[in-house]
A and B are shown apart, each in its own frame.
Chain A
Amino acid sequence: MIQPADLRARAETLAGPLPPLLAAAEHLAATVLLGQHGRRRPGTGDEFWQYRPAQTGDEMRMVDWRRSARSDQHFVREKEWQAAQSVVFWTDRSQSMQFASSGRVQAKSLTARTLALASAVLLVRGGERVGLSDRSLPPRAGELQLLRMAELLSAPDAEAEYGAPETRGMVANSRAVFLSDFLGDIDGVKAALTKAADRGVKGALVQILDPAEEAFPFDGRTIFESMGGTIRFESQKARDLKDRYLDRLAARKAELRALSQLTGWQYDVHHTDRSASAALLWLFQALERDH
């Protein structure tokens, strides 16, 4: 039995990181003008679509009596079909996302979470259902879902050096967004995308990179360590490695792009020193596309 005081303390602890993350996400979401999210055809929904003459087979309760009273015909009031879509997010929680090359840029994980939550805010406002792809938060609509999601996104990070997308919570024919640096083993990504394609899930890959990871501004004798410290690489003259590193990074990007094209996904790279709203806009349009 949890004492109320204890509960409250825990709630406040949990709520602590929520408002900033949610506030940042809402702030970011506010930059995107929410467009028409309807299906452009009659269906179940809240918005009025059109009146049509009642036909045989229409139930009587479907007749709009107020409209019909003004004429001799019976009219049926049709509403726009607003099918709620499920979008699941996966943000990489691994150690490598903790990286921030300098005090001027924020950590990649924070960018990833903000982007994910901001997209979620937009989607929820559009009536979609959002959730996390790791089964911890099944897709649901409503503001409360945003709070839950923010809480889960603010959870402590995983111990792993690099992460692989979770696909367990992915509902068939839904949409998914994977946010990660994708610097780890690409097999995990490949597997996840294959699985998603199998289930008819489409979505977007957002690769979030730090400017230092693009520029490789290192020189001299250097020991590179992964963020968790488990992987280590020593170079005597780091500057010489730059070209080959950049080649490998370009190869990785090309691989991701090819993979996403193959599976019908969208792929984009976002750098942490750039404005997140650009990435958000791209992400939103990527989800909008191909409905």
Chain B
Amino acid sequence: MLALGPIGFTAPWLLLALVALPILWFLLRAVPPAPIRRRFPGVALLLGLEDEENETDKTPWWLLLLRTLAVAAVIVGFSGPVLNPESEEAGDGPLLVLIDGTWSDARDWQRRIDRIDALLSEASRAGRPVALAQLTDLPQGALQFQAADAWAARLPSLAPRPWVPDRETVLTWWNGIGADGFETFWLSDGLEHVWRAELSERVEDAGRLTVFESLRPILALRPAAFVDGVLQLEGTRASASGAIEAAVLAHGLDPAGTPRVLARGPLRFAEGEGEAQIDLSLPPELRNRITRFEIEGIRSAGAVTLADDALRRREVALIAGRDDRAGLELLAPTHYLEQALEPTADLIEGALEDIVLANPDAIILADVATLSPVEATELLTWVEAGGLLVRFAGPRLAASDVSRGEEDPLMPVRLRAGGRSVGGAMSWGEPKGLRPFSEESPFFGLAAPEEVNITAQVMAQPDPTLAERTIASLADGTPLVTRKRVEQGQIVLFHTTANAEWSSLPLSGLFVQMLERLAVSTRPATPTEAEMAGTTWVPDQVLTAFGEVTDAGTLPGVPGELLAGAVPGPGLQPGLYAGEDRRLAVNVIGPETELVVSAWPESVSVEGLDVARETPLKGHFLSAALLALMLDILASLWLAGRLTGPRAPAAAAVIAIFLATAGPETAAAQDDSFALAATSEVVLAHVVTGDAGVDAMAVAGLRGLGEILFRRTSIEPADPIAVNLETDELSFFPILYWPVTPNQPIPSAEAYARLNTYLRSGGMIVFDTRDADIARFGSASPAGRRLQDLARPLDIPPLEPIPEDHVLTRTFYLLQDFPGRHASTDVWVEAAPAGAERAEGMPFRNLNDNVTPVVIGGNDWAAAWAVDDQGRYQFPVGRGFTGERQREIAYRFGVNLIMHVLTGNYKSDQVHVPALLDRLGQ
């Protein structure tokens, strides 16, 4: 095979014929086009004239060039040109194809399979035995060297796994093979792994190593974190070069339970940055429904991170002391708490024992002084297990002896007897403001507004631990909020009330922020191994390497210890695991995962994945030659002056076809002319059914109706237009007449989308099954069945047979029958709303709704309306005078219909006329 750049030739000696081209050139030049013989009496006058241009007997150069090119294309075509001919690489001996098969491979898995296929077919040609191993799915025992074809048959069953094998497994496997003396092709996933260097060293020991790597950037998404009320997502990538912008999608269920994209945000990797961050600020309602985040357009488990309970809305229990002031809502101890927490948390109310059993995330006690011993014990156990107890002071707490002498286990500090009142009528000093929050405080960073002041509080007993337990204090340094950690949980005390009695804190936005901060700090952290010991977690959903979430099916449960490590592997598939009370996500990419580009030793040759496919070009060259010869025919005819008479339109048609296939501009121009024709005047339109007879009838019918409208009303429609649902814009037309034929093709999904838009935006479709003479509406005539098929995807409201007070009965003429060529009474329109009532003093109901989007009937209206070019009726209607009367009523129905479409409920509004007149009169 001869290769010229990327093109090779299977029969290169044929190219020698190209030498003959110059000869051909001269031959063609020498032979002029055949002359036309014409009988012409004027020849006597021509005698003696001489041609001015002596060159004209030779073919023009461009025609010669065309012909020469055609011949050249034929010669080249038959010499068997091949794009990217596969050059054979030398190689022999056994071959090992090693695949990483991790999640990072998933993105271009098909290219990898193609590459392996190419490698295998090469090996097959060279007769080399091949073994194939996937590091994430290691074969048992020694390598099996088989014929390459046997492996090629197994390629479709290979799939990447959503994890990375650990070092021990990989190295143990390699040592277990113990083989030597084979060449290795390693399809790497492009990432550095702990075992990469070691393994490559050993592989090189066994024989020559060639690495194939994709050059595509590898992106991954770390688990979402909830920071400062926003969702923080961090993307990471392997190579920091180049600026990339990707989109992060948040998937979840919408309120109807349908999976949707709930949010979307850009992830911008700046040049040189390996990481990019995006903050998604979502309303809690939305946030709680998020099931997973993913980088758009990347099919890889690394680009997906599952959301677990950590992002969910928390349960908060509110418990107030005895409520003895029933009805005074603003004074209720929990009123402001409810207001503050309602939007962000699920509130639970009830008796304390029940609440503790429900295990909420937080319990708030507003001015509750004493608890029964049982309650106290249960509460303490709950707090120790990780609960957050928030208490608010109040008159009762101040009056009680709780935490006086010694610290109550459910109080963060000891309290002094009584309390303090500042700035009141009977006290010294001014109401106290807040001191800025210290750095240790969870409230650090929140601004303390000046208008917040405290007039009364309970005082903490000075203790050695008081300073560290204070997380907010007044301007004079007295503690306002104290906190104590109890094992996993914590107890927080606000030294003032939860209502506005003692302070204006609950009235400020700061209150909400403080509660949020406190609640945020209660979100479940990554569970420790000890905590998880002994538990079993059942996989609920698992993630494939391609980033698809699938049902876990019957996968076995996973011990909690394994889950605590959260490193996915063969025993722990990434996915969502359900425990007793919550669900944990195991993601491919952990919060700390770094992606590093794999580094290979100098001795290893690294190639790309691209397989340059052999593309035979013979067909292309031959069709080019054929095309050139066709052009030559036209050009020759034109040159010889024979492109006249009947040939001219044919040639024009051929050229037009060429241009039409080549130029989208013409289509756009046609669109414009269509739009202009449809919008310059009112235009009635019908849907093209594909049945020429029915279409012609529809056009004739609309033309006839248009003439009647022109004559009798102020509507002056232009000629009707046939609308192709697949290609034409619908929104120009007030009405679409749609005759239904039994064998009409169902429109495409896009056409239905347009039709639905049309219906929603006020369009009307008149369906006519044209079979009212033989079938009642809805019964199973072929056209009726077709209508059901056609209308099923349409957004059609409930229908009813046209009621006698429908606005269609009086938009122009007063009608009660709607005959066409047939006189069935079955005409259906949008149903009136259920509550419509008869207007006072009017014979019809008050139906001020939209234009009915559909009118369905089978009376073959178009046939009754149809007139030919001379204005004569095309189809007979009925017999004699009654027939003519029926046609007249049919026309009147048409007039009413168009009036209804164009004026909407105008006539329906007439029910208000008495009321308006009445009002005007006064």
User: Which of B44, B45, B49, B641 has a CB less than 8 Å from the CB of A239?
Assistant: B641
B641/A223 in contact, CB under 8 A: no
**Residues on the B chain within 8 Å of A221, using CB:** 32-36, 56-57, 640
A212/B56 in contact, CB under 8 A: no
**Interface check B592, CB cutoff 8 A:** no
User: Which of A185, A234, A236, A249 has a CB less than 8 Å from the CB of B42?
Assistant: A249
**Interface check B658, CB cutoff 8 A:** no
Name 6 extra pairs, CB < 8 A, besides A99-B41, A224-B42.
A183-B42, A220-B33, A220-B641, A223-B35, A224-B38, A237-B52
**Interface check B749, CB cutoff 8 A:** no
**Interface check A232, CB cutoff 8 A:** yes
B44/A184 in contact, CB under 8 A: yes
**Interface check A158, CB cutoff 8 A:** no
Measured CB to CB, the nearest residue on chain A to B53 is A237
Given contacts A225-B38, A236-B51, contact A220 B44 (CB under 8 A): no
Measured CB to CB, the nearest residue on chain B to A94 is B41
B35 to chain A, nearest CB (A): 4
B644 to chain A, nearest CB (A): 8
Give a binary string over B1-45; 1 marks a CB under 8 Å from any A CB, 0 the rest: 000000000000000000000000000000011111111111111
User: Which of B36, B49, B51, B53 has a CB less than 8 Å from the CB of A223?
Assistant: B36
**Residues on the B chain within 8 Å of A99, using CB:** 39-41
Give A182-217 interface residues, CB cut-off 8 Å to B. 183-185, 210, 212-213, 216
A247 to chain B, nearest CB (A): 9
**Interface check B839, CB cutoff 8 A:** no
Given contacts A184-B44, A237-B51, contact A220 B39 (CB under 8 A): no
B51/A181 in contact, CB under 8 A: no
**Interface check B639, CB cutoff 8 A:** yes
User: Which of B32, B44, B49 has a CB less than 8 Å from the CB of A244?
Assistant: B49
**Interface check A162, CB cutoff 8 A:** yes
**Residues on the B chain within 8 Å of A2, using CB:** none
B639 to chain A, nearest CB (A): 6
A240/B51 in contact, CB under 8 A: yes
Closest 4 CB pairs of A and B: A219-B641, A220-B641, A96-B41, A220-B640
| A238 to B54 CA separation, bound complex (whole angstroms) | 12
| A244 to B51 CA separation, bound complex (whole angstroms) | 11
| A266 to B839 CA separation, bound complex (whole angstroms) | 96
Interface on B for A, CB 8 Å cutoff? 32-47, 49, 51-54, 56-57, 639-642
**Residues on the B chain within 8 Å of A239, using CB:** 641
A225/B39 in contact, CB under 8 A: yes
We find that the number of chain A residues with CB closer than 8 angstroms to chain B is 41
A235/B51 in contact, CB under 8 A: yes
**Residues on the A chain within 8 Å of B39, using CB:** 99, 224-227, 229
A245/B45 in contact, CB under 8 A: yes
**Residues on the B chain within 8 Å of A33, using CB:** none
A21 to chain B, nearest CB (A): 22
A236/B44 in contact, CB under 8 A: no
Measured CB to CB, the nearest residue on chain B to A97 is B41
A97 to chain B, nearest CB (A): 8
Interface of B, secondary structure class, is loop
**Interface check A5, CB cutoff 8 A:** no
| A233 to B38 CA separation, bound complex (whole angstroms) | 10
| A108 to B57 CA separation, bound complex (whole angstroms) | 33
Given contacts A99-B40, A225-B40, A236-B53, contact A249 B45 (CB under 8 A): yes
Interface on A for B, CB 8 Å cutoff? 96-97, 99, 108, 161-162, 181, 183-185, 210, 212-213, 216, 218-227, 229, 231-241, 244-245, 248-249, 252
B41/A181 in contact, CB under 8 A: yes
| A249 to B44 CA separation, bound complex (whole angstroms) | 10
| A96 to B44 CA separation, bound complex (whole angstroms) | 10
B643 to chain A, nearest CB (A): 9
Measured CB to CB, the nearest residue on chain A to B37 is A223
B41/A240 in contact, CB under 8 A: no
| A96 to B39 CA separation, bound complex (whole angstroms) | 9
| A94 to B197 CA separation, bound complex (whole angstroms) | 106
A224/B32 in contact, CB under 8 A: no
A-B contact pairs, 9 of them (CB 8 A): A99-B40, A213-B42, A220-B36, A226-B43, A226-B44, A235-B46, A236-B53, A248-B46, A249-B42
**Residues on the B chain within 8 Å of A216, using CB:** 42
User: Which of A96, A97, A222, A231 has a CB less than 8 Å from the CB of B35?
Assistant: A222
A236/B32 in contact, CB under 8 A: yes
B491 to chain A, nearest CB (A): 107
User: Which of B34, B41, B641 has a CB less than 8 Å from the CB of A218?
Assistant: B641
| A229 to B34 CA separation, bound complex (whole angstroms) | 19
Measured CB to CB, the nearest residue on chain A to B33 is A221
Given contacts A223-B37, A225-B37, contact A231 B47 (CB under 8 A): yes
A102 to chain B, nearest CB (A): 10
**Residues on the A chain within 8 Å of B43, using CB:** 224-226, 231-233
**Residues on the A chain within 8 Å of B54, using CB:** 236
**Residues on the A chain within 8 Å of B45, using CB:** 183, 245, 248-249, 252
A231/B38 in contact, CB under 8 A: no
| A223 to B39 CA separation, bound complex (whole angstroms) | 8
B57/A236 in contact, CB under 8 A: yes
A82 to chain B, nearest CB (A): 41
**Residues on the B chain within 8 Å of A218, using CB:** 38, 40, 641
A222/B36 in contact, CB under 8 A: yes
**Residues on the B chain within 8 Å of A184, using CB:** 44
B38/A222 in contact, CB under 8 A: yes
**Residues on the A chain within 8 Å of B36, using CB:** 220-223
**Residues on the A chain within 8 Å of B642, using CB:** 220
**Residues on the A chain within 8 Å of B57, using CB:** 221, 236
User: Which of B34, B37, B40, B53 has a CB less than 8 Å from the CB of A240?
Assistant: B53
Given contacts A220-B642, A236-B53, A239-B641, contact A245 B42 (CB under 8 A): yes
**Residues on the B chain within 8 Å of A238, using CB:** 641
Measured CB to CB, the nearest residue on chain B to A108 is B41
**Residues on the B chain within 8 Å of A233, using CB:** 43, 46-47, 49
| A166 to B41 CA separation, bound complex (whole angstroms) | 21
Question: Most chain-A CB neighbours within 10 Å: which of B42, B43, B53?
Answer: B42
| A229 to B41 CA separation, bound complex (whole angstroms) | 10
| A216 to B641 CA separation, bound complex (whole angstroms) | 13
| A97 to B43 CA separation, bound complex (whole angstroms) | 13
| A202 to B334 CA separation, bound complex (whole angstroms) | 135
Measured CB to CB, the nearest residue on chain B to A99 is B41
**Residues on the A chain within 8 Å of B47, using CB:** 231, 233
**Residues on the A chain within 8 Å of B33, using CB:** 220-221
A67 to chain B, nearest CB (A): 62
B34 to chain A, nearest CB (A): 8
**Residues on the A chain within 8 Å of B56, using CB:** 221, 236-237, 240
Measured CB to CB, the nearest residue on chain B to A212 is B40
| A94 to B61 CA separation, bound complex (whole angstroms) | 44
**Residues on the A chain within 8 Å of B32, using CB:** 221, 236
Measured CB to CB, the nearest residue on chain A to B637 is A220
Question: Most chain-B CB neighbours within 10 Å: which of A162, A184, A185, A231?
Answer: A231
**Residues on the B chain within 8 Å of A223, using CB:** 35-38
B651 to chain A, nearest CB (A): 15
B53/A231 in contact, CB under 8 A: no
B33 to chain A, nearest CB (A): 6
B526 to chain A, nearest CB (A): 89
**Residues on the B chain within 8 Å of A97, using CB:** 41
B41/A226 in contact, CB under 8 A: yes
User: Which of B46, B51, B641 has a CB less than 8 Å from the CB of A224?
Assistant: B46
A220/B639 in contact, CB under 8 A: yes
| A263 to B35 CA separation, bound complex (whole angstroms) | 44
**Residues on the A chain within 8 Å of B34, using CB:** 221
Measured CB to CB, the nearest residue on chain B to A221 is B35
**Residues on the A chain within 8 Å of B35, using CB:** 220-223, 234
B539 to chain A, nearest CB (A): 83
B59 to chain A, nearest CB (A): 11
| A238 to B644 CA separation, bound complex (whole angstroms) | 15
Given contacts A218-B38, A220-B36, contact A162 B641 (CB under 8 A): no
A101 to chain B, nearest CB (A): 9
**Residues on the A chain within 8 Å of B44, using CB:** 96, 161-162, 183-185, 226, 231
